[in-house]
Structure 1
Amino acid sequence: MYKTKTTFQKIRLLIRLLIPILITQCGMYAMTFFDTVMSGHASAADLAGVAIGSNIWMPVYTGLSGILLGLTPILSQLIGAKETNPIPGKLHQALYLSVTIAIILFGIGSLVLEPLLNQMGLSRQVHDIAWRYLVALSAGIIPLFAYNVLRGFIDAHGLTRLSMLISLLGLPINALFNYLFIFGKWGAPKLGGVGAGVATAITYWMIMAIAIICIITLKDFHHYQVFRKLPRPSFLAWKELLKLGLPIGFSVFFETSIFAVFTLLMSEYSTIIVAAHQAALNFASFLYMVPMSVSMALTIAVGFEAGGRRYSEARTYSFIGIGIAILFALFFAFILLRFNQPISRLYSTDPQVLRMASHFLVFAIFFQLSDAIQAPIQGSLRGYKDVNITFVMTLISFWLIGLPVGIFLAHKTSLGPYGYWIGLITGLAVGAVTLFIRLIAVQKRFSLLQEKG
């Protein structure tokens, strides 16, 4: 990161941060994308099983890994203030915390996974595939969480291209092992959708190892001597991380879990509807990588400027990011409206699944517009280290407004499964409006601080 003077320089720098982050996010998400698409070509049951498994896993993963996102604004503000001595210690403690979270998650999952699946009324085949997929995937929990910390360390220095390269290296590895274990090629066992979990776990271990090697060997980080001497875990340091990370994690969890809850509620419908819903939601979530990437770039840029007490510069970055996200959202809305049937064919050749998925994709247009506002605002607020109100707003908009609206429309009107999608759209829209109001209030507060000197 470096200081900028003009709006054009800010746009250029934000795009330089954004594009590698976007490619990285797409690379990471493409693993789930490939899991879903390739499993769907194994059988409808494999698609449904992986869909259920991934919709249990994703909100848990994103929520808990969101706790670790607290490291990025901490490091960004330290770099902006030119106080880099504490950075290695912050990284060590974040790594210890990530491993601890992963171990706790593994233990809890071993106790609640089977009862949870039993309550969902799934067919025996889909139940078995979902359970075995998650068990296989759990072998990669520790390296995945550790990699998230390492990536946050790299990105906070503005070296988002390095994270991009690491993720791109992981993508063909994941696709290859998917091919081997899903379809039983080259002597590997034919595991169907379960093989996707095996492949993804292997990939997580490999990208973590690559990230560690880069941090040890590259000159940009050599002066830190990160792994030369490891301090003991410090619960006091964990407290600082958790103070920021817990509200971020809960915000991410409340947002992502609402999608998973609606998918689980969809299990009351036929396997065809579940598969179509998952296909449409999977693609819509893939497009969400753009506003999410803008959000992450803004956390770095706003954090850097806020750390240096350049609050007017931080404000400018916030609105540039929102503008970029809205432009992308309008483009994606056109793509979804014009090409919804070809997109549906990526996931299935079943005519019933195609028809339902193409309808769901039209609803996804409205996701893009709300996400283009609320995601960049969340990233900006994290850069300011303002996370508690965001957590409350996310809880209210999704769980106290979006969920009841979705359930009511699905069961009390003729909309059926489409009612759930309207509930999701309602929650996103409310979240976008309330977060925008919060951002304006935070920016005014910091502007007053800057005026007082």
Structure 2
Amino acid sequence: MKQTFTLLQKIRQLFAILWPILVAQVTMFSMSFFDTVMSGQASTPDLAGVAIGSSVWVPIGAGIGGIFVAVTPIVAQLIGARHKEDIAFQVMQGIYLALLISILVIVGGAFALDPILSLMGLEDNVLRISRSYLLALACGIPALFVYQVLRAFIDALGKTRVSMMIALLSLPINVSLNYVLIFGKIGFPALGGVGAGVASALTYWFLALITYTIINSQKSFASFQVFKHFYGISLKEWKEQLKTGLPIGFAIFIETSIFAVVALLMSTFDTVTIAAHQAAMNFATMLYMVPLSISSALTILVGFEVGAKRDKDARHYSYLGMVMSIGMASICAAILLLFREQVAALYSREVAVIQMAQHFLIYAVFFQLSDAIAAPIQGTLRGYKDVNVTFLTACISYWVIGLPAGYYMANNTSLGATGYWIGLVLGLAVSAIGLLGRLLVVQSRHKNLEVASSEKKRM
């Protein structure tokens, strides 16, 4: 990354960092997609078991993974402030913290897994597959969390193409392992859906190993000497990372878990409604990769400018990111409205499912517009290391407003399942408004500090 002086330079730098993040996000999303689709080719119970296992793991994994996002603004600000010598220490503290949290997750999961699955009223075969899938997946959690810390370090340096290449390399590894372990090829036993869990765990270890090798061997990373020295554990730095990371992680968990809860609440409706909801939500999630990637890029760039005390440039990047996000969302929304029948047909051949999925996809358009505002602001605020209000906003907008409103409309009006979608749209809209207000407050505060600093220099 480098300092920019014109709007064109900012657009080029934002796009250069953004597009590899987008490719990496879509690639990582595709791993979950192939786990589900390939397990479904084994048997229906395998498909159900992996789907249930994923619904349990994804909110937890995404939420805890969000804690390590804190490394990105921390390193980006150190780069901007030209404190390169402190970066290796911060990254190693993040790795130590990731290993500790992974142990806590595995131990906690060992006690909580059976009670959670027993509450779902699953058939014995599906419950067995879900349990075994999650146990196999747990073997890769330490590697996954360490990889997320290392990726945060790489991204903070603006080297997002490296993260993209690592993600692209991991996808064929995951698909190949799925093929071998799910269906029992080249002498391995056919494990069905459980094989998808084993494949994911092995892929996580490959990810961590590849990333470690690149950081050690490539000159642009090796100069930071991340693994050259042994650093003792610093509880003070853990506290600082958790101060930023926990609100980010909780906010991500709040956002992802509400969609999982709505999916469970949808189980009271007929099979057509459930299938249509899952199809529409899956496509909406894929489209969300665009504003999510812009959010990640803004965390890097805003953190870099804030660290360099160039608050005006930080503001310009935040506005540029929002304009880009809204523009992309408008294009996606137009495509969705025009081709929603074709999109729905990708997921099912049943006419009833296609028709209802088309109906739900109309509400996905409003998802796009709300996310186009909220996601870039979240990324910007993380660049400022302002994360507590984001967490509170997520709690209020989704769990206090969105979910209760959706539940009421779904169960007490003629809207039925559509009520949940309206509730989610309402929650997203409230979140976008709340985050925009917070961004204006934070930027006004930094602007005043910038003015005061300039006046002090003149005196």
Q: Please, which runs of 5 or more residues in structure 2 have no aligned partner?
A: 454-459
Report how far residue 353 of structure 1 moved: 4.4
| Cα deviation 1:50-83 (Å, max 9, x = unaligned) | 2222121111111111111111111101100111
Which residue of the partner structure matches residue 33 of structure 2?
Answer: 33
Aligned to 2:150: 150
Task: Give the deviation of 1:129 after TM superposition.
Answer: 3.0
**Pairing 1:54-453 to 2, within 5 Å after superposition:** 54-349=54-349, 353-453=353-453
- CA 1:114–1:336 in 2, change beyond 3 Å: closer, same or farther? farther
Deviation at 1:325, TM superposition (A): 1.1
Taking the aligned partners of 1:272 and 1:180, their CA distance within structure 2 comes to 33
Q: Give CA-to-partner distance per residue, 1:21-47, whole Å, 9 cap, x none.
A: 111111111111222233344444443
Contact 1:139 1:201 in 2 (8 A): yes
RMSD: 1.8
Deviations 1:288-326 (A, max 9, x none): 111111001000100111111111110010011111111
In the TM superposition, residue 197 of structure 1 has moved relative to its aligned partner by 1.8
1:327-374 deviation per Cα after TM superposition (whole angstroms, max 9, x unaligned): 221222233233334434444445554444343333222211111110
Structure 1 residue 415: deviation in Å? Answer: 2.4
Q: 2:456 — aligned with what?
A: none
Between the aligned partners of 2:154 and 2:443, the Cα distance in structure 1 is: 27
Change in 2 beyond 3 A, CA 1:423/1:129: farther
Kindly tell me: are residues 414 and 117 of structure 1, through their superposed partners in 2, closer, same or farther at Cα, counting changes over 3 Å? farther
Q: What letter is aligned with 1:370?
A: S
Q: CA offset at residue 436 of structure 1?
A: 0.7
Of stretches 25-34 and 207-216 in structure 1, the one that deviates more from structure 2 is 25-34
* Cα separation, 2, equivalents of 1:377 and 1:368: 14
Could you tell which deviates more after superposition, 115-124 or 306-315?
115-124
Aligned residue pairs: how many? Answer: 453
Residue 457 of structure 2 corresponds to which residue in structure 1?
none
Percent identity between matched residues is: 54
The one-letter amino acid of 2:262's match is F
**What is the CA-CA distance between 1:89 and the residue it aligns to?**
0.4
TM-score by length of 1: 0.95
- Worse-superposed segment, 415-424 or 55-64: 415-424
For residue 234 of structure 1, report the CA deviation from its aligned partner.
Answer: 1.5
Determine the C-alpha separation between the residues in 2 that align with 1:335 and 1:178.
33
Q: Give per-residue Cα distances to partners, 1:60-109, cap 9 Å, x unaligned.
A: 11111111111111110110011111100000000010111111111111
Question: Gaps spanning 5+ residues in structure 1: where?
Answer: none
CA distance in 1 between counterparts of 2:33 and 2:406 reads 26
The CA distance in 2 between the partners of 1:428 and 1:13, in whole Å, is 29
TM-score (norm 2): 0.94
Between the aligned partners of 2:436 and 2:386, the Cα distance in structure 1 is 13
Please tell me whether the aligned partners of residues 52 and 264 of structure 1 are also in contact (alpha carbons under 8 angstroms). no
Matched to 1:421, the amino acid is W
